[in-house]
Every structure is written in structure tokens, then in C-alpha cells.
Amino acid sequence: MNPAMSARSWAVTAVGSLLLTGASTAAVTPWASAEGANPTVASSEAVATLQRASQAARSQPYSGTQFLSAWTRGATTSVVVNVIHVPGRGSLVQVPATADGVGASILESDSGPSAADGPAGLDGSPAVLPGLDAEPLALLQRNYDVSMAPAGSCAGRPASVVEVRRRGVDASLAGRFWVDQRTGLVLRREVFDTQGRTVRASAFGTVDTDAVPTMSGKLPPTSAKASGESLSAGRLNAMRSTGWTAPDRLGADLELYDTRATGAGRNQTLHLSYSDGLSTLSLFEQRGRLDAAAVRGWRRERIGAADVFVNDTLPQRVAWAGNGTVYTMVADAPGEMIDAVVAALPHEPEPARGVLARMRHGLVRVGSWLNPFG
């Protein structure tokens, strides 16, 4: 090991290891600190708890240290960040430097009123903690059953625990939220796949909600808001008629809830946002063929009949080409959900080179046009 590794790097490694162990345990056993006192109550209380959390994510100032971990087929990835959130001003995320990499500070400003105007309301300022924005919350209620679980704790604070279960015979556990009983802030979130394995987890190690944090000093450049302009239903349908793929649903539960477009002509990019309330996925489409240099170092994987390139960072990136379009997926979702999305989208190989291959490609295309179920 590199002797020059800093103490901070050691800390990151240690936290990651602990999280890995803890999450593996959580995947097979009930949450240890959730024993307890309160019995499971009606789902209406769970919905109210999540709505309170959604409001707190906008209006509650806080600062703390947060970890995020993701378990994919290729790797387990964890990162620790310092987060400061001031309603109306934005969120400052500081990534500690290590011996192997320089740190980073990322500022995401709120679009709501400034701090001088007091706490922000439900006026469009973005949520900071994931998964509980207004639209995903509505999707969550549509796609899952929510219920209260015995109370627990996180970061030394008592928390209400909300369980999210899949609808169906098995009613398997899909996610858990630990909501701070005092402020309503989401302190911890876990997402499980259908096999019961933890695939995503984020939690505060330490959090302070009493002192209003300040963003003094030289702030880093504000990270860009979602680029491009939002598409109306009419414009989206017009793009669909010219060959762009934009299904209203992907896989079993992912619903299209936001569409944007940037550029024009050959440089146009279509950005589709999907969510089932618990997992989120963005799909970017560009006309052309995938430049091999753009995915150098990515893991090559076969998903069904598709050859894709995967980058196991946070969030996970998957890129492939199909039918003259390059698809880039940015996902906070279980692998099985990503597989279903890739299978549902075009993933034919690059345009054929030889006459015979071109002829075969043409026959496949004509066949797809004639297929009433395609």
C-alpha cells in the first residue's frame, strides 16, 4: 500500500469497509436498531412521514458527513462527502482529497428564495436528499406499498422507519427510509433488489440540524442545472415521429416523468428521466455511432442480446449503440432494472459494412416494421 496515503484516505477506506460489512449484514437480517418499541401501523402514516421528509429536504438547513455506496455486478463503490445545505442558497458537497486524487467541491444552488428571505418553501427548490422529491414520491406511492416499521436510529438520532415493498405475491422489501423524528430529514436510505441484496445505500455519519451552516469564503462554480429545455408532449411526440425512442414506461415500473432536449440537428441530445419512486434513471440519446474512445476503460458486458459498456461509478453509467442512436444511461437502480431497460431499447449492432450484412440488417428492419407486436 502506498505509504503516502493520508489519514483521510484511510478513513474513507475504513468507512467503506464498514459499510460493505454492514450492508451485507443488512441484506440478510433485519435492521438491528429497528427493534422495538413501535408496532407497524397503517400505510397512511408512512405516506405522511415521507411527505414530511420531502418538505424537510427543502426547508431544513443541515450540515454533516454522508456516505454513499452502490453494489453493482462489477464492483462495490463507496464515497464519503461533506454536505452543507442552506435552503434558498443551495447545497455544497465537498469531496475530501486523498493521496490518489484531489478533492472537489461542488455547489448546487437552489432556485428558490435566498437565505435572507428565510427558509425555502415548497416552491420548486430542488430536494437534496435523493428519492423524495415531489414527483418521485408520487411515483413511489403508485408503484409500491409503503408501511411503517419499528422505529430505529441513525447518526445517534431517533428515526421513524418506512418500509417500501413490491406489489405482488412475494411483497419483497424494496427499500427503507430512516426519517429523523425531530426534523423530518431523511437520515438513511437503502434499496434492495428482488433477491434481497442491498444495491444502494446512503446515510449520514454525523449530522447537525441546529446551527444554520454558512457558505462563506470562495465558493466553487455552481454546477449546472439540467441543461436543455423541457419538452412539451407535442414536441416529444414530434421527435418520436422522426425516429427518437421515448417510451412512456421502461421495464415494469419505471415511468417517464421529465423530458429535455439540447442542441439541434445532428448534435441534438434527448434526455429522458425515469423513476419508479425508489430508483432513478436518466437516458440520453444522440444520433450516430458510439465512439470507442469515449468508453475506453469501461467494462464490456453482455446484457441479453446487447453488447454494452459499463462504468461502475456513482451513479452507474451504461452506454451502447443501436439502430443509429447512441444510448447513455445514468442510473441509480438495481442491476436487474438496468438489464430490463437495455432489453427494452434498440441495441442492434452498428450499421453493417458488407453487402450481405447490410442486406441482413435491412431484412431485420423490414421485419420489425411488419411485426404488429414489435
Partner 1 sequence: MSHLGDLAAAVVDGELGHDARDRALAHLAGCLPCRAEVDAQRRIKARLGAMERSDVPSTLAARLAAVPGAALPSPPAVPVRTAAPPPATAPLPSRRVGSIRVQRVSAERSTGLSTRSRFGRTRRPARNRPPGRPVDHPRPWSRTPRRLRRAVVGGTSAVLLSLGVALLVGGGSPADTAAVDPSVNTFVADHMATTGEVPLTDPAVAAVSVSYPR
Distances (CA, A) of 227 to 145, 156, 352: 34, 39, 34
Looking at the Cβ atoms of 174 and 290, the one nearer to partner 1 is 290
- Cβ neighbours of residue 127 closer than 8 Å, sequence gap 6 or more: 54, 57, 58, 133
* Least Cβ distance, residue 180 to partner 1 (angstroms): 17
Q: Which residues contact 324 (CB under 8 A, 6 or more apart)?
A: 287, 288, 289, 351
- DSSP category for residue 296: T
Side-chain-facing half-sphere of 180: CA atoms under 13 Å: 23
Which residue number, 106 or 344, has a Cβ lying nearer to partner 1? 106
Q: Which residues of 292-312 are buried (b: 16+ CB within 10 A; e: fewer)?
A: eeebeebeebebeebebbbbb
Q: How far is the CB of 35 from partner 1 (least distance, A)?
A: 29
**Nearer to partner 1 among residue 44 and residue 368 (C-beta):** 368
Least distance (Å) from partner 1 to the CB of residue 97?
A: 7
Could you tell me the smallest distance in angstroms from the CB atom of residue 38 to partner 1? 28
For partner 1, the closer of residues 2 and 39 by Cβ is: 2
Is the Cβ of residue 212 or residue 226 nearer to partner 1 in the bound state? 226
Q: Which residues of 57-90 are buried (b: 16+ CB within 10 A; e: fewer)?
A: bbbbbbbbbbbbbbbbeeeebbbbbbbbbbbbbb
Q: Least separation, in Å, of the C-beta of 174 and partner 1?
A: 17
Cβ 359 to partner 1 shortest distance, Å: 5
Report residue 89 CA to chain centroid gap. Answer: 23
Cis upstream peptide for 315 (omega within 30°): yes
The nearest distance, CB 145 to partner 1, in angstroms, is: 22
Nearer to partner 1, 209 or 273 (CB): 273
- Rounded Cα distance between 111 and 341, Å, is 32
Give least dist CB 42 to partner 1, A: 27
Minimum distance from residue 148 beta carbon to partner 1 (Å): 24
Could you identify the residue written with the cell 437502480?
333
Nearer to partner 1, 47 or 314 (CB): 314
Q: Considering beta carbons, is residue 230 or 237 the nearer one to partner 1?
A: 230
Which residue(s) pair with 62 in the sheet?
A: 85
Of the two residues 147 and 275, which places its CB atom closer to partner 1 in the complex?
275
For residue 348, give every residue at least 6 positions away whose Cβ sits within 8 Å of its Cβ, in sequence order, or none. 322, 323, 361, 364
Looking at the Cβ atoms of 106 and 246, the one nearer to partner 1 is 106
- Taking Cα atoms as reference points, which of 242, 358, 343, 352 lies closest to residue 301? 343
Q: Classify 128 in phi/psi space as left (phi over 0), alpha (psi -120 to 50) or beta.
A: alpha
Rounded to whole angstroms, the Cα distance separating 320 from 105 reads 31
User: Least CB distance from residue 169 to partner 1, whole Å?
Assistant: 29
Taking the C-alpha atoms of residue 310 and residue 140, their distance in angstroms, rounded to an integer, is 27
